[in-house]
Amino acid sequence: MTGKKDATSHEHSACPMDSLLKLLMGPWTTYILWLLRSQGPQRFGELKAGMPGISSKVLTERLRMLEGANLIHRDYKPTVPPAVTYSLTPRGAELKDVLLGLNELAQRWHAEDMRMEA
Partner DNA sequence: AAAAGTAGGTTCCGAATAGTAACTAAAGGA
Partner DNA sequence: TCCTTTAGTTACTATTCGGAACCTACTTTT
Judged by the rule CB under 8 A, the positions of this chain that interact with a copy of itself are 1, 3-4, 10, 12, 16-17, 19-21, 24-25, 27-28, 30-31, 34, 38-40, 42, 46, 49-50, 52, 91, 94-95, 97-98, 101-103, 105-110
Cis ω before 52 (30° cut-off from 0): no
Burial class from Cβ neighbours inside 10 Å (0-12, 13-18, 19+) for residue 33 reads buried
Tell whether residue 33 is a contact of DNA (CB under 7 A).
Answer: no
Query: Taking the complex as a whole, how short is the minimal distance between the CB of residue 103 and DNA, in angstroms?
Result: 22
Interaxial angle between packed helices 56-68 and 29-39, expressed in degrees from 0 to 180 and rounded to the nearest 10: 80
Which residues form the interface with DNA (CB under 7 A)?
26-28, 43-46, 53-58, 60-61, 63, 74, 80-85
